[in-house]
């Protein structure tokens, strides 16, 4: 390496602020320097192997936690108010703001501190676990945190890999090992990893210590399934042997070694640079519609607060402008105070009024909402109806911040395979050279298990056809990535290749297992992969051995995979298996028309089809392919792109052999769930990578499309005949003409008097719609496409790549209506749309748990989505919307009398309530009843919500937190405040009310207003409660009792030592007055009356669907006892 490149490398390594500046890293295996003249040795500086998942340290916990908490607007606002109370002379004690703020901050800090302490504890346990290093030819035991990049590590069976390792050698002769990655992605199946070809023979510590090699690889990336690198192994020769490294050579931290005695590996990523640690990073924060509404309402109330302070400040100086109305004689200002700047005095008074009225912003609401969401999420996980006995799992809640969003969903985007279907594949038939072969034939109602082929198109195949048929079965036996293991070696899910043998097929794809199992019935059995030779048993019970030369792996873009094998006779074959759209364009020979017609027929029946092709390679041709693949595999830059280009060149000029059909059964109650969602006003879209015919058949089966649904197509086939512009405008005219003539619901297309439309679009057509036009704009086509979609009851998107799924979700999410979207899927290809949607739900399926791990919620089966949305989502939204509105309502009731009181005290900033009442109103007196209500309220029975999905429409579009509802609650609070204040004022004006002739003082007046207010807001919540339990009774009546007991205690009646000067005996004196009791009963009744009348009138004149159901249920509950009594009476009169 020349001097310039050495300097550049050093600068990048030590000075770069971001690792992205360096494209790759070089790791020296065992810290051995490369041979002289090979390359310059640069000392490595990488992090040690300590894992730090904790957020705080002992020293920075207090400042860092306080900084994070005061970033919340409400907390920061109350901190400012508290500081103002400390700095200037304000009417209320700093305790009134400081104590609630201190309570909120302390509770949150304790919770976060405890969680972080648990993380520290877990980190220490992980960092101190013992690891076996290879040093100087022997094993040394050290703590995991001392491991460095380049160290050679030995891991034994059932141990967890301490860092990310390149797999060098194994105790297995074939250089493989089996691992489980359950702690990383939840997959319990065994995965096979392969040692480097040139190092797999090093089985002892002395051998591995003599290894002289360097590894070049990419910088740390969070993607668990991608790795690019190469290893240079230095032997006695001058030129090193270069081997490519991929994800199959990488053993990840957190994975566990299984069914392998021991392995040796070299550390390449340690500590916080391991892929597991990089995946600690949280996903982007999603905010619910309720939270956004809550923040808007806070801003409104902040404006009201500022307006109140400005009005009072202005009126104070207007009122004091007359000499006779200057400060009262007992509160005269000194001359120095009078000489103060007018603006400064006004500003000080403005701040004082802000402090006086600041309780209109409820600081405790945030804590109550967080508690409600956290505790409420347990009701979902405890739901026994959503527990799947077969899997032994129930729903999971990965985030409780979006509970209420489950009640606001307008669009559901669902995957097909594994979500709507079971992903439990069963081999149905295969078509070879135009001849249909089924595993079991039925003749006269009798199953013929020995029947291997039934000709359904033309005559039985001749000799050449028989050869092609056997070649087809060999292709299926060889073109896969299945591992065969003994039953006693396998912990996870398994399928036996032969009932008489103790062995199992394991694969990441259920399709592959179904195909290999299916062809056993035709006499071909895949046995094993041993020493790079694939063995199979043919019809004559002879073992055939094929050398595995290359694997061209499957990917979702190519939608096919290939293997290159060499037979015992020296013939080299390329076998290719994939989707028909990927195979047919590359075929130059074979009975394409006959096979294609069979594929289309199977697709219409809802079967999953794959096509199989092959070509024969001559040795020279294979050598060219091998070099092409080798160059692509060892590339560090754009390796995936170069491999894809190489695959495109190789997989051409194929001979079509046949096709297979596999059935993926529809999940239990999938059709019922989709029908219920549509009745609830939710539009359901299916996004799948399958072909159009297969997906459409599934959509009909699950009732997404109905027999009277008119299908509109925007597909590649149609775009070959018409331009995209013409197709979209034609479809737009069709649907808009229908919508113009019929009144159509914007949510669902299930009305009987209207034409039902369903749209089918494929990935290629979607790319054209999303592609920017030549004039630089793409919005026209997108808007036209959205208009068509809005008028369709269901949409099917087929041939979708994972990224296109996310694009579809984003397109709808950002449309002008801004609907709430939900995405549900079970595979890694669904993660992008799950992360993109407002709510992401993972199905705990057979394609691994990547979807469940990246989702907001996870459920065992698609059918559980019905109860999750229609019942739990409905309850969550009803409860939290009432909580938010009620908090603002009770604070308007609380603070508006204080505003009115200023007109009667010369705007002197005198408080109406005692300091204790100011402090405890939101913390103690009124907080627990609304918390219990928001956890347990059921305004309609669960069974009713499941039986009548249309009730979901009543809460759609954030109905309970719209401006109309918000204004009603605010006006109700203002009305109640007026009744509290003026009712008490006029009732006791110029009236003696005690036995000794004393009149009520200002503290007694304020206590009366406060008592009426606490009773009113608590009873208002009791009137709103539909679902009563002993807990509700205990909390509601208990909170009122607590208020009375506290007032007696605070007034010195129960505890004489608390003879607080201004409140001493105030409460008991108030209750000793008859007019006070009358005032309390009368004012509470008058305050609650308008709300009761409004509810009665609305139920009678303009009832919602929910209110009609409530009325019907109440009638039934009254009728049932009556019928029971009548039946008892009649039976007693019967002789």
Question: What are the C-alpha distances in Å from 530 to residues 173, 262, 856?
Answer: 9, 19, 43
Alpha-carbon distance of 500 to 502, in angstroms, equals 7
Tracing tokens 């305790």 back to the chain, one arrives at 95
Q: What is the largest CA-CA distance in the chain?
A: 123
What letter would DSSP give residue 47? -
Closest to 801 measured CA to CA, from 829, 837, 759 = 829
Alpha helices in 538-617 (DSSP H): 580-583, 592-604
Q: Do residues 190 and 482 make contact, with C-beta atoms less than 8 angstroms apart?
A: no
Alpha-carbon distance of 156 to 141, in angstroms, equals 13
Q: For residue 905, what are the contacts with CB-CB under 8 A and spacing of at least 6?
A: 1002
Closest to 268 measured CA to CA, from 224, 231, 217, 223 = 217
Alpha-carbon distance of 496 to 500, in angstroms, equals 9
The helix (H) or strand (E) run that includes residue 338 is helix 335-338
Q: Do residues 1018 and 1027 make contact, with C-beta atoms less than 8 angstroms apart?
A: no
Strand ranges (E), 439-542: 441-443, 446-448, 483-486, 503-506, 525-530, 533-537
Alpha-carbon distance of 855 to 830, in angstroms, equals 10
Strand ranges (E), 312-410: 396-397
Using DSSP's 3-state secondary structure scheme, residue 711 falls into: strand
The CA-CA-CA angle for residues 376, 380, 386, to 5°, reads: 170
What angle in degrees, to the nearest 10, is found between the helix axes of 364-381 and 927-936?
30
Task: State the CB neighbour count (10 A cutoff) for residue 430.
Answer: 29
Using DSSP's 3-state secondary structure scheme, residue 38 falls into: coil
Alpha-carbon distance of 859 to 388, in angstroms, equals 9
First to last CA, the chain: 113
* Torsion from C-alpha of 377, 380, 381, 386, nearest 10 degrees: -170
The helix (H) or strand (E) run that includes residue 813 is helix 802-813
Question: What are the C-alpha distances in Å from 806 to residues 226, 822, 826?
Answer: 20, 12, 15
Surface-to-core class of residue 671, CB atoms within 10 Å of its CB (0-12 exposed, 13-18 middle, 19+ buried) = middle
Catalytic (active-site) positions:
415
Closest to 273 measured CA to CA, from 217, 348, 335 = 217
Alpha-carbon distance of 1080 to 1099, in angstroms, equals 29
Alpha-carbon distance of 179 to 655, in angstroms, equals 37
What letter would DSSP give residue 323? G
The helix (H) or strand (E) run that includes residue 665 is strand 654-666
Surface-to-core class of residue 173, CB atoms within 10 Å of its CB (0-12 exposed, 13-18 middle, 19+ buried) = exposed
Q: For residue 70, what are its two tokens?
A: 């005061």
Alpha-carbon distance of 685 to 395, in angstroms, equals 23
Q: Do residues 834 and 855 make contact, with C-beta atoms less than 8 angstroms apart?
A: yes
């Amino acid at each position: 390496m020349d001097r310039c490149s050495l300097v550049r490398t050093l600068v990048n390594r030590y000075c770069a602020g971001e690792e992205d500046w360096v494209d790759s890293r070089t790791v020296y295996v065992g810290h051995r320097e490369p041979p002289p003249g090979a390359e310059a040795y640069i000392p490595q500086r990488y992090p040690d192997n300590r894992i730090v998942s904790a957020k705080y340290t002992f020293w920075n916990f207090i400042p860092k936690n306080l900084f994070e908490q005061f970033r919340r607007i409400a907390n920061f606002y109350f901190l400012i108010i508290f500081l103002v109370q400390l700095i200037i002379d304000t009417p209320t004690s700093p305790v009134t703001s400081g104590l609630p703020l201190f309570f909120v901050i302390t509770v949150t800090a304790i919770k976060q501190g405890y969680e972080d302490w648990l993380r520290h504890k877990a980190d220490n346990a992980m960092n101190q676990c013992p690891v076996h290093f290879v040093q100087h030819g022997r094993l040394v035991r050290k703590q995991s945190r001392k491991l460095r990049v380049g160290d050679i590590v030995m891991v034994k069976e059932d141990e967890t890999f301490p860092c990310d390792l390149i797999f060098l050698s194994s105790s297995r002769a074939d250089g493989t090992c089996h691992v489980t990655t359950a702690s990383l992605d939840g997959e319990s199946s065994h995965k096979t990893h392969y040692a480097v070809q040139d190092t797999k023979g090093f089985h002892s510590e002395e051998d591995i210590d003599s290894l002289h090699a360097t590894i070049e690889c990419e910088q740390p990336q969070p993607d668990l399934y991608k790795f690019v690198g190469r290893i240079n192994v230095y032997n006695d020769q001058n030129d090193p042997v270069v081997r490519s490294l991929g994800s199959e050579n990488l053993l990840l931290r957190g994975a566990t070694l299984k069914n392998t005695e021991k392995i040796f590996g070299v550390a390449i990523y340690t500590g916080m640079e391991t892929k597991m640690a990089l995946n600690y990073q949280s996903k982007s924060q999603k905010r619910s519609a309720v939270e956004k509404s809550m923040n808007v309402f806070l801003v409104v109330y902040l404006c009201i607060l500022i307006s109140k302070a400005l009005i009072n400040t202005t009126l104070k100086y207007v009122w004091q402008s007359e000499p006779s109305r200057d400060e009262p004689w007992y509160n005269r200002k000194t001359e120095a105070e009078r000489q103060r700047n007018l603006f400064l005095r006004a500003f000080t008074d403005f701040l004082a009024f802000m402090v006086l009225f600041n309780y209109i912003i409820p600081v405790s609401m945030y804590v109550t909402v967080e508690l409600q969401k956290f505790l409420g999420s347990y009701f979902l996980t405890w739901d026994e109806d959503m527990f799947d006995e077969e899997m032994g799992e129930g729903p999971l809640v990965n985030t409780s911040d979006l509970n209420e969003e489950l009640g606001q969903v307008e669009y559901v985007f669902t995957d097909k395979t594994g979500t709507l279907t079971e992903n439990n594949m069963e081999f149905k038939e295969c078509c070879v050279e135009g001849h249909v072969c089924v595993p079991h034939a039925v003749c006269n109602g009798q199953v013929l298990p020995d029947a291997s082929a039934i000709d359904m198109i033309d005559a039985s195949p001749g000799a050449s056809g028989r050869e092609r048929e056997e070649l087809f079965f060999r292709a299926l036996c060889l073109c896969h990535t299945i591992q065969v293991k003994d039953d006693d070696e396998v912990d996870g899910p398994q399928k036996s290749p032969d009932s008489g043998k103790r062995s199992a097929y394991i694969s990441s794809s259920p399709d592959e297992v179904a195909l290999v199992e299916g062809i056993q019935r035709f006499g071909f059995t895949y046995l094993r992969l041993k020493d790079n030779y694939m063995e199979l048993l043919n019809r004559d019970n002879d073992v055939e051995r094929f050398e595995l030369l290359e694997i061209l792996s499957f990917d979702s873009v190519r939608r096919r995979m290939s293997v290159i094998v060499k037979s015992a006779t020296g013939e080299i074959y390329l076998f290719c298996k994939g989707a028909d759209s990927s195979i047919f364009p590359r075929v130059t020979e074979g009975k394409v028309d006959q096979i294609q017609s069979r594929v289309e027929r199977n697709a219409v029946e809802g079967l999953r089809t794959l096509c199989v092709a092959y070509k024969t390679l001559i040795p020279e041709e294979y050598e060219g392919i091998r070099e092409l693949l080798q160059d692509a595999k060892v590339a560090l830059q754009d390796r995936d792109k170069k491999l894809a280009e190489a695959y495109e060149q190789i997989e051409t000029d194929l001979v079509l052999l046949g096709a297979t059909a596999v059935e993926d059964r529809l999940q239990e109650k999938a059709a019922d769930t989709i029908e219920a969602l549509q009745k609830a006003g939710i539009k359901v879209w299916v996004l799948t990578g399958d072909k159009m015919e297969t997906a459409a058949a599934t959509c009909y089966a699950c009732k997404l499309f109905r027999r009277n649904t008119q299908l509109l197509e925007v597909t590649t086939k149609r775009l070959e005949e018409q331009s995209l512009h013409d197709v979209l405008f034609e479809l737009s005219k069709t649907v808009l003409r229908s919508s113009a003539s019929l009144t159509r619901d914007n949510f669902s297309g299930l009305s009987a008097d209207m034409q039902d439309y369903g749209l089918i679009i494929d990935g290629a057509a979607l790319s054209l719609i999303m592609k920017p036009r030549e004039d630089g704009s793409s919005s026209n086509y997108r808007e036209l496409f959205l208009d068509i979609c809005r008028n369709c009851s269901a949409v099917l998107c087929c041939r979708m790549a994972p990224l296109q799924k996310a694009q579809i979700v984003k397109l709808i999410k950002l449309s002008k209506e801004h609907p709430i979207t939900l995405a549900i899927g079970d595979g890694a290809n669904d993660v992008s749309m799950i992360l993109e949607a407002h709510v992401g739900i993972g199905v705990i399926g057979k394609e691994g748990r990547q979807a469940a791990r990246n989702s907001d919620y996870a459920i065992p089966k698609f059918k559980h989505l019905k109860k999750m949305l229609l019942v739990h989502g409905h309850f969550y939204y009803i409860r939290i919307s009432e909580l938010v509105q009620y908090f603002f309502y009770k604070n308007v009731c609380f603070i508006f009398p204080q505003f009115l009181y200023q007109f009667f005290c010369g705007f002197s900033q005198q408080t109406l309530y005692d300091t204790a009442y100011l402090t405890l109103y939101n913390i103690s007196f009124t907080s627990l009843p609304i918390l219990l209500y928001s956890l347990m309220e059921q305004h309609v029975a669960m069974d009713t919500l499941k039986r009548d999905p249309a009730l979901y429409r009543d809460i759609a579009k954030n109905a309970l937190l719209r401006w109309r509802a918000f204004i009603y609650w605010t006006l109700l609070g203002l009305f109640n405040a007026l009744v509290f204040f003026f009712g008490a004022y006029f009732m006791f004006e110029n009236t003696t009310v005690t036995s000794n002739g004393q009149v009520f003082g200002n503290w007694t007046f304020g206590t009366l207003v406060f008592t009426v207010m606490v009773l009113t807001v608590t009873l208002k919540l009791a009137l709103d409660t539909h679902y009563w339990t002993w807990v509700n009774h205990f909390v509601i009546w208990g909170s009122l009792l607590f208020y009375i007991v506290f007032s007696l205690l605070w007034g010195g009646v129960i505890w004489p030592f608390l003879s607080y000067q201004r409140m001493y005996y105030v409460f008991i004196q108030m209750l000793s007055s008859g007019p006070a009791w009358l005032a309390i009963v009368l004012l509470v009744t008058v305050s609650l009356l308008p709300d009761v009348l409004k509810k009665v009138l609305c139920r009678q004149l303009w009832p919602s669907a929910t209110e009609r159901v409530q009325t019907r249920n109440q009638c039934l509950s009254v009728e049932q006892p009556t019928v029971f009594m009548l039946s008892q009476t009649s039976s007693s009169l019967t002789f």
